Amino acid sequence: MSSSGNTRKRPKNQYRPWLQFFVRLFVVAAVLLSIFLIWNNWDRIAPEAVLDWAEARFGDAEIGNGFPTSFEGNTVKAMGEVNQHFILLTDTSLQFYNSSASRVITRPHSFSTPTLHTAGRYALITDVGSNRFRLDSRRETALSMELENGRIYASCLLPSGMVGIVTDSTSQSYLCQIRVFNRSGKEIFTYQSRKYLITNLSLAANGKGIAAVGTTAEGGMLKSVLLIFNFSDVEPIEFSGSDLLLYEVNYFSNGTVLAVGDKEMWILPARAKDVKKTSFNGFEPVGYSATQTVSGIILQRSGSTGDGYVWMVNGDGSVWESEQLDGNFRSASARMSRLAVLTDTHLYMFSRAGQESKVETPSDALLAAEYRDAPLLLTLSELRRVGSP
C-alpha cells in the first residue's frame, strides 16, 4: 500500500526558523530604539515640557532666547533646580525657567522673609519669623499652610514632599517644637523640646526619622546637642558637647549624620554609637550647603578675608580639602554630588573627586547654582551660563 496519502504538510514557519528570528530581532530593536528616542528627547515630551509648551502657546509664559537673560539680580533671594527647571525666589515671587531661559510660570508670594529649599520636584518656601510655609512644584502649589501656634525659624525638605519645621513656643512648658508634615499637610511627627533650643534639622531619606541640632546653657557654659529621632520612638538619641555652637546638620542618604559647629564638625556614621569630632583648626564656617550625597563647608580664618578653604564631606564620613580659595566668599550651592562656590573673583565647581573648575567672574556676581550639569551665575543685571566644567 502506498503511504503518500497520509503525508502531512508542515506549517510554513517550521520551514523558516530564520524568519522568526529576524522578526523577534526587529521587535527587540524597535523597542530599544523607542526607549532611546524617549530618553534622548525626554526634555521635549515630558509632562512638564508639554506644560511649558502650553504656557508659551496659550498662557502667560515669557519666551526666552537662551542664557544670558536680563534680570534684576538684587531682587533674588535664592535659586536652584527643581525637576529640570531652574527656579528663582525673589522678594515677591517664585519663578520657573526652562533650558531656553523662558520664564514658564511665576507664582506670587507675600512672604516678608522667604527662604528656599529644593528637593526632587518640590520647592519649599518658608516665611521665617511668621507661621507660613508653601510647597510648590512646576505644576502646582501642592501645599500651603498657616500654623495656628508658633513662628517658624528653621525648615527642611525631602524629595517626597515631606516637610520638617521648627517653631518657637507659645507656651511656657517648652522652648520650641519640631513638626513634620507629609505633602498632603498631615502632621506625622511632633516633638516639644523642653531643654534645648533647636537651631536646625534634616530629615532622614527614608522619611522615618530626623536629625536636629540645638543649644542650652549649663553651668554658665554653652552646651550643644545633636539629636537623632526615630518617629516610632518617644525620645531621641542624644550627643552633646560644651563650649561649642552647632548650627548646621545634614542627614545623608546612607544614614550618616553630619553636624557643623563654629569650631568643629561631628560625624555620626549609620548605626554608630558615638560621634567623631574633627576640629577646624582655628578656621570658622562662613558658608554651607548640602544634599543627601555631599556636604560642602566653606572655612575662613577668623577675622581674615580671602583666606578660605572648602571641605567636602561625603556620606561615608571621608573629607576632601581644597586648596586656598581666591577672593572673599559670596555663596555656595550644592546639587547632587557637586558644589558651586562663588567668591568676589571666581566661581569654583567641586565634587567628591576634588576641584573640577575655576572660572573668573565679574565683580557684581551675586549667586551661583548648578542647572543641568552647568553652573548659572546671577549678576546685578543678568542670569548667565558660565560654561560646562
Neighbours of 314 (CB within 10 A): 18
pLDDT digits (tens, 9 = 90+) for 202-252: 999 999 999 999 999 888 889 999 999 999 988 999 999 998 999 999 999
211/255 Cα distance (integer angstroms): 10
Task: Please check whether residue 134 is in contact with residue 124, taking contact to mean a CB–CB distance below 8 angstroms.
Answer: yes
Sign of CA dihedral 42, 45, 50, 52: positive
HSE-CB at 194 with a 13 A cutoff on CA atoms is 3
Strand partners of residue 31: none
pLDDT digits (tens, 9 = 90+) for 21-55: 666 777 777 767 666 655 555 445 456 665 555 55
pTM of the model: 0.83
Q: Give residue for cell 505644576.
A: 139
pLDDT digits (tens, 9 = 90+) for 345-373: 999 999 988 889 999 999 999 999 999 88
Task: Please check whether residue 258 is in contact with residue 267, taking contact to mean a CB–CB distance below 8 angstroms.
Answer: yes
Given pLDDT bands bounded at 50, 70 and 90, which one contains residue 344? very high
225/223 Cα distance (integer angstroms): 7
What's the chain's length in residues? 389
